[in-house]
């Protein structure tokens, strides 16, 4: 980790992708140089696998059923076209380079898949996971993973003397069973369980972890890959009202383990027959770096995508996948290929992952560079609206004692607002009434990052805790000075700290209550009738509160 931090620091100063730092740290720590990781190989591999599962679980978490419907058709077509093109052209190229039939076939198939892990990591870093091209690339990766599972099943069963009819039939049955399982879990089972679990954030976290690894393991036992199992586990929770909170809790854990994954990948870059491998690997790397963007660009254009989205999607998929290592190792165990193919693929992986890391990080700059060449063919007549981020004029943190009255006033004034609360029962009741409500913790910066707070006009916090409110206020002020921020305290101790953090006003219920009583004594007659009317108003207010399912 010390080596990783040192290289990452240099890369950060040079404004380079940190993934490149992780790969080079692994390369230095591996057998080519310091050989620091050989003693704990199994432990490192397990940690790396944790990172892969958590990363893909979060991908599934962002792909709820509505998103899948939107991207399904285009992703299936683009995925099939790209896999077929890369496999056929790659196979012909490898035969031309002198490879035998079986070796060329295995290596060509291994080259067809792009790295889900690399793509997801970099798009997360760029906050492009919700963009049009980002969502369709994710869909493309899911299709590739499904094809990869089918190929793995086919190679194993064919080596054991199985038939193509049996392989296809078995695969179709498994896919339909998987779809049915996802639907039942997401729509029927989990909603009832999560409403009880979410009352404790610790319980929600450990349940989510158990669900992620448990479902991934169960599907792995049924013949699917761990990658698909992790994505499915995420999809089953993607429609949950607790999706944002789950995601924010898991991201730090994912980031740690995914660093180890890339360290392991870098440490495995060992080339013994360098002179024989380098020319072939260079040709194949150029084919992947230019061939994948070429075919995906034209495929997405044929599907009526804009030039920009087609270009960004194509550039994103210009690398080979970690799955290729699994496939080639399997082929070597079955006796179809030799170590030279694995060495070639290792070098191709290093070249394409490093180059594509830069390409994805700077894809917008690349598009602007090539824009004059695109415009030579005329203006792009196609238009695609990015999915609009839901924005609200007012955000209310905490609904229980004070927030509900604030929300009633906002609704009367027809102001768009959303509520953030950590009580699952409150969230359920608000959504039932048609009020935008988000389950989450104001003290969780990862969660706050998912909300467009800085684009609102006002933020009103009725939370009792000073620390949570200070975290929220400083987060908003780090992004914008525009929103008015009203916070809440029950004592004077931390009032100045909230003002220094950026709050525009700190309301204090005991002072406001004292002020209300003072105004009452000044403006109202001191009679029994005055207080009888006040009691009637209070009863009406309590009836309104109880009609919303809230209790003191």
What DSSP line would sit under 183-204, residue for residue? HHIIIIIHHHHHHHHTTSHHHH
329 touches 268 (CB < 8 A):
no
3-state secondary structure of 420: strand
Calculate the average pLDDT of the chain: 81
Which is more confident, 207 or 512? 207
For the segment 471-491, the average pLDDT, to the nearest whole number, is 90
Q: Is the pLDDT of residue 480 over 80?
A: yes
Which is more confident, 6 or 15? 6
Which residue, 459, 399, 483, is CA-closest to 408? 399
Q: Is the pLDDT of residue 512 over 60?
A: yes
Q: List where CATH 1.20.1530.20 sits in the chain.
A: 44-375
The phi and psi torsions of 486 (rounded to 5 degrees) equal -110, 125
Scanning 222-338, the segments in alpha helix (DSSP H) are 226-238, 243-267, 274-302, 307-316, 322-333
- CA 183 from chain centre, in angstroms, equals 21
Tokens of 264: 């392991």
pLDDT-based confidence at residue 157 (cuts at 50, 70, 90): low
Write out pLDDT tens, residues 351-372. Answer: 888 888 888 888 888 888 888 8
For the segment 453-468, the average pLDDT, to the nearest whole number, is 89
3-state secondary structure of 421: strand
Q: How far apart are CA 65 and CA 362, in angstroms?
A: 31
Q: Which pLDDT does position 333 carry in this prediction?
A: 67
The H or E element that residue 460 is part of is strand 458-461
For the segment 70-84, the average pLDDT, to the nearest whole number, is 82
Query: Between β-strands 417-421 and 394-397, what pairing exists: parallel, antiparallel or unpaired?
Result: parallel
For the segment 293-318, the average pLDDT, to the nearest whole number, is 89
Can you tell me which residue has the tokens 């995925």? 79
Q: What is the DSSP letter of 40?
A: G
Query: Between β-strands 458-461 and 394-397, what pairing exists: parallel, antiparallel or unpaired?
Result: parallel
Q: List where CATH 3.40.50.720 sits in the chain.
A: 394-507
Q: How far apart are CA 293 and CA 546, in angstroms?
A: 59
Which is more confident, 81 or 224? 81
The phi and psi torsions of 485 (rounded to 5 degrees) equal -120, 120
Can you tell me which residue has the tokens 């360098």? 274
Q: Which pLDDT does position 552 carry in this prediction?
A: 41
Task: Specify the CATH architecture of the domain 394-507.
Answer: 3-Layer(aba) Sandwich (3.40)
pTM over 0.75: no
What strands, in cross-sheet order, belong to the sheet with 484-488? 436-439, 417-421, 394-397, 458-461, 484-488, 505-507
Lowest mean pLDDT among 51-55, 354-358, 456-460, 544-548: 544-548
Tokens of 4: 């990783």
Q: Which pLDDT does position 549 carry in this prediction?
A: 53
Which fold does the domain 44-375 belong to in CATH? Na+/H+ antiporter like fold (1.20.1530)
CA dist 444 to 239, 412, 418, 439, 456, Å?
21, 31, 18, 12, 19
324 touches 110 (CB < 8 A):
yes
Which is more confident, 454 or 130? 454
Q: How far apart are CA 43 and CA 49, in angstroms?
A: 10
Q: How far apart are CA 258 and CA 216, in angstroms?
A: 17
For the segment 325-345, the average pLDDT, to the nearest whole number, is 72
Which is more confident, 512 or 92? 92
81 touches 112 (CB < 8 A):
no
Which is more confident, 272 or 313? 313
């Amino acid at each position: 980790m010390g080596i990783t931090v040192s290289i990452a620091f240099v890369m950060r100063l040079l404004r380079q992708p940190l993934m490149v730092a992780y790969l080079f740290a692994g390369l230095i720590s591996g057998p080519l140089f310091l050989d620091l990781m050989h003693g704990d190989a199994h432990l490192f591999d397990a940690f790396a696998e944790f990172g892969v599962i958590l990363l893909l679980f979060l991908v599934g978490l962002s792909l709820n059923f509505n998103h899948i419907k939107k991207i399904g058709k285009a992703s299936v077509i683009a995925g099939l076209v790209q896999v077929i093109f890369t496999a056929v052209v790659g196979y012909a190229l490898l035969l031309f380079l002198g490879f035998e039939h079986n070796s060329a076939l295995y290596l060509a198939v291994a080259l067809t898949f792009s790295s889900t892990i690399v793509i997801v990591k970099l798009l997360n870093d760029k906050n492009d996971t919700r963009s049009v091209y980002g969502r369709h690339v994710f869909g493309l990766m899911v299709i590739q993973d499904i094809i990869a599972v089918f190929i793995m099943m086919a190679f194993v069963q064919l080596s054991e003397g199985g038939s193509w009819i049996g392989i296809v039939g078995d695969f179709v049955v498994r896919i339909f069973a998987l779809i049915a399982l996802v639907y039942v879990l997401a729509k029927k089972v989990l909603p009832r369980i999560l409403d009880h679990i979410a009352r404790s954030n610790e319980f929600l976290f450990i349940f989510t972890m158990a669900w992620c690894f448990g479902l991934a393991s169960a599907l792995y036992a049924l013949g699917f890959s761990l990658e698909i199992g992790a994505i499915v586990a995420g999809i089953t929770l993607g429609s949950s009202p607790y999706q944002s909170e789950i995601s924010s809790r898991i991201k730090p854990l994912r980031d740690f383990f995914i660093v180890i994954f890339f360290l392991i990948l870098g440490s495995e870059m060992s080339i013994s027959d360098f002179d024989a491998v380098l020319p072939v690997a260079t040709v194949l790397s150029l084919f992947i770096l230019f061939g994948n963007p070429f075919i995906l660009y034209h495929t997405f254009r044929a599907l009526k995508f804009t030039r920009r989205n087609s270009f960004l999607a194509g550039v994103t998929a210009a690398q080979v996948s970690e799955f290729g290592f699994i496939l080639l190792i399997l082929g070597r165990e079955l006796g179809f290929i030799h170590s030279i193919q694995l060495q070639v693929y290792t070098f191709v992986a290093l070249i394409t992952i490093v180059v594509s890391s830069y390409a994805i990080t700077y894809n917008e700059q690349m598009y602007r560079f090539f824009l004059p060449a695109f415009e030579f063919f005329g203006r792009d007549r196609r238009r695609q609206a990015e999915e609009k981020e839901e924005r609200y004029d007012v955000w209310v943190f905490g609904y229980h004692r004070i927030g509900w009255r604030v929300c009633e006033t906002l609704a009367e004034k027809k102001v768009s607002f959303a509520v953030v609360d950590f009580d699952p029962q409150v969230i359920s009741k608000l959504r039932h009434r048609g009020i935008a409500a988000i389950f989450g913790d104001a003290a969780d910066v990862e969660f706050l990052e998912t909300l467009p707070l800085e684009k609102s006009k006002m933020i009103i916090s009725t939370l009792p805790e000073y620390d949570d409110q200070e975290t929220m206020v400083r987060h908003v002020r780090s992004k914008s000075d525009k929103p008015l921020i009203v916070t809440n305290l029950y004592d004077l101790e931390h009032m100045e700290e909230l003002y220094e953090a950026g709050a525009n006003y700190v309301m204090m219920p005991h002072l406001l209550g004292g002020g209300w009583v003072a105004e009452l004594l000044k403006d109202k007659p001191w009679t029994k009738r005055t207080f009888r009317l006040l009691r009637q108003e209070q009863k009406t207010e309590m009836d309104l509160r109880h009609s919303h399912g809230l209790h003191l």
